[in-house]
C-alpha cells in the first residue's frame, strides 16, 4: 500500500492581471482583474514506503507547490492526496506527527535563540522521549557535527550549519515520510557531500523520502526514482537508471593527439562517428552511438589509427537528459 498517493492533484492560484506602468497601476486600483494560474495540473503520484523519490523540474514548474499540497499546507483546488491514509490538509495535525519537512529557503529555527532551544521545543511538540531525543541528537552530532553549533544563536550560523540544524529539526521525531525542498541550496561542496551521505543513510534505514533539488548530483546520489515535472504536469516518472538507459544512447571519447586535430579530415575517415573540436587545438571529441558500437571496438579503431597521446571517456549526465526533457526534445 502506498505511503503517499495523489490523484489528479491540481492547484490553481488567482493572480492580479495588472498592466505595467503608472497607468496600469491606476487602472488596476479602479478595476481589478485577476487571472487564474495553474501551478500543479492534475498530477498522479504514488510512493511506496521506503522509496527515495527525486522531484525535479525547472523554476516555476510547480515543485514547491506540490510539496506544500502533499504536506497539507495548501488545499488542493482539485484532486486528492492521502499520506498514510490521511488527508494532509484536513487532518493536518495528525499528519504532521508522521512527516518531516525541510524548506531549504525557510528556516524552522527560532532566529534569536540557540539551536538547542529550537530542538527542545520540537521535542515537546512531537512528544519525543528524553532517551530518544538524546540518542537522535547524538546521531545527528556524529553525522552532521551538530554539537559544534548547538549553543550558537541561529542567526549567527553559516548557511551550511543552518541547513544541518534545520535537517535535525525536520528529523528529530524520526518521521516515516520526509519532504526535503532544496536541502542543499547555497551550500559548498563539502557540506553537500555530508548532507548527501546523511540522506543516503536515512534512506537505507527505511525512511521514505521525497526530494526536490536543482542539484542533480543530490538526486543521483540519494534517489532511485525520479519524477520530472514541467508546467505543473509530470513529464517523466520512473527509475533514474531507466531514464539514463533509455535516453543516454551516446558516449564520447576525448582524444588528445600529438599535433593539431584536423576535424573535417577525421570525420571523413571515420564517418560512423560524430566529430567535434575539443578545448585545445590537439583535442577532439568523438561521439558514437553506444547501442551500435562497443566502447572497446571504438577505442581499438581510434587508438590503432590515430595513436593519441591521451584519451578519456564520458557519457551524458542525467542533467543533460533532464535539460532535454525540459526543452521538449525527449518524450515520456
Partner 1 sequence: MSSALAVDRAFAVIAFKRRLAYKTQWLVGLVLGGGAMLVSMAMWRELLSGGALSGYDWDAMRAYVIIGFITATMVFGAADWQIADRILDGHVAVDLTKPVDFQRARAAEFVGSMCSTIPTVAVGVAGAWLLFDPPGPASATAGVLTAASLVLVFPLAFGITYLTVLVCFWTKRYLGVMWLREALLAFFSGMMIPLAFMPSWLQAVAWALPFPHFTTTPSAIYLGHVDTAGALGLLAAEAAWAAGLWFGARLVFNHAVKKVTVHGG
Within 168-187, which residues bind partner 1 (CB under 8 A)?
A: 181-182, 185
> Which residue, among 54, 1, 9, 4, has the nearest Cα to 176 in the 3D structure?
4
Query: 532535454: which residue's cell?
Result: 324
Backbone angles phi, psi at 46, to 5 degrees: -135, 130
Instruction: Tell me how far apart the alpha carbons of residues 4 and 48 are, in angstroms, rounded to a whole number.
Output: 7
- Tell the smallest beta-carbon distance from residue 195 to partner 1 (Å): 17
Asked if 108 and 71 touch (Cβ cutoff 8 Å), the reply is: no
Question: Counting contacts by CB under 8 A, is residue 78 touching partner 1?
Answer: no
For residue 141, how far is the Cα from the chain centroid? Answer: 25
> Which residue, among 222, 244, 226, has the nearest Cα to 235 in the 3D structure?
226
Q: Which is nearer to partner 1, 12 or 46 (CB)?
A: 12
- Tell the smallest beta-carbon distance from residue 119 to partner 1 (Å): 11
Within 29-48, which residues bind partner 1 (CB under 8 A)?
A: 39
Question: Counting contacts by CB under 8 A, is residue 192 touching partner 1?
Answer: no
Q: Which of 1, 124, 129, 279 binds partner 1 (CB under 8 A)?
A: 124
Asked if 311 and 254 touch (Cβ cutoff 8 Å), the reply is: yes
- Tell the smallest beta-carbon distance from residue 185 to partner 1 (Å): 8
Question: Counting contacts by CB under 8 A, is residue 256 touching partner 1?
Answer: no
Window contacting partner 1 (CB under 8 A); options: 117-125, 261-269, 288-296, 302-310: 117-125
Q: Which of 13, 27, 50, 86 binds partner 1 (CB under 8 A)?
A: 13
Instruction: Tell me how far apart the alpha carbons of residues 277 and 263 are, in angstroms, rounded to a whole number.
Output: 6
Instruction: Tell me how far apart the alpha carbons of residues 140 and 137 are, in angstroms, rounded to a whole number.
Output: 5
Q: Which residues bind partner 1 (CB under 8 A)?
A: 13, 39, 64-65, 68, 71-75, 92-94, 96-97, 99, 101, 103-108, 110, 112-113, 117, 120-122, 124-127, 181-182, 185
Amino acid at each position: 500500500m502506498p505511503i503517499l498517493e495523489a490523484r489528479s492533484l491540481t492547484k490553481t492560484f488567482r493572480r492580479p492581471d495588472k498592466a505595467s506602468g503608472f497607468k496600469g497601476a491606476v487602472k488596476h486600483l479602479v478595476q481589478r482583474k485577476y487571472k487564474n494560474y495553474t501551478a500543479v495540473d492534475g498530477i498522479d503520484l504514488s510512493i511506496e514506503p521506503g522509496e527515495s523519490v527525486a522531484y525535479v523540474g525547472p523554476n516555476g514548474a510547480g515543485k514547491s507547490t506540490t510539496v506544500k499540497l502533499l504536506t497539507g499546507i495548501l488545499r488542493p483546488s482539485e484532486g486528492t492526496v492521502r499520506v498514510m491514509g490521511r488527508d494532509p490538509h484536513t487532518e493536518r495535525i495528525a499528519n504532521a506527527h508522521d512527516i518531516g519537512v525541510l524548506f531549504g529557503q525557510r528556516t524552522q529555527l527560532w532566529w534569536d535563540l540557540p539551536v538547542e532551544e529550537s530542538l527542545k521545543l520540537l521535542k515537546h511538540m512531537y512528544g519525543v522521549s528524553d532517551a530518544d531525543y538524546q540518542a537522535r541528537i547524538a546521531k545527528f552530532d556524529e553525522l552532521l557535527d551538530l554539537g559544534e553549533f548547538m549553543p550558537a544563536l541561529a542567526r549567527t550560523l553559516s548557511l551550511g550549519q543552518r541547513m544541518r540544524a534545520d535537517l535535525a529539526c525536520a528529523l528529530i521525531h524520526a518521521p516515516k515520510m520526509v519532504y526535503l525542498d532544496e536541502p542543499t541550496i547555497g551550500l559548498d561542496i563539502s557540506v553537500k557531500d555530508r548532507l548527501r551521505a546523511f540522506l543516503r543513510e536515512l534512506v537505507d534505514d527505511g525512511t521514505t523520502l521525497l526530494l526536490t533539488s536543482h542539484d542533480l548530483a543530490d538526486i543521483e546520489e540519494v534517489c532511485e526514482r525520479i519524477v520530472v515535472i514541467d508546467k505543473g504536469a509530470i513529464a517523466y516518472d520512473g527509475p533514474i537508471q531507466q531514464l539514463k538507459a533509455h535516453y543516454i544512447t551516446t558516449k564520447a571519447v576525448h582524444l588528445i593527439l600529438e599535433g593539431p586535430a584536423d576535424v573535417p579530415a577525421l570525420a571523413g575517415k571515420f564517418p560512423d562517428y560524430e566529430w567535434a573540436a575539443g578545448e585545445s587545438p590537439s583535442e577532439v571529441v568523438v561521439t558514437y552511438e553506444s547501442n551500435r558500437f562497443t566502447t572497446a571496438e571504438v577505442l581499438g579503431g581510434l587508438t590503432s589509427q590515430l595513436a593519441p597521446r591521451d584519451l578519456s571517456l564520458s557519457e551524458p549526465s542525467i542533467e543533460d537528459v533532464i535539460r532535454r526533457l525540459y526543452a521538449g526534445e525527449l518524450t515520456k
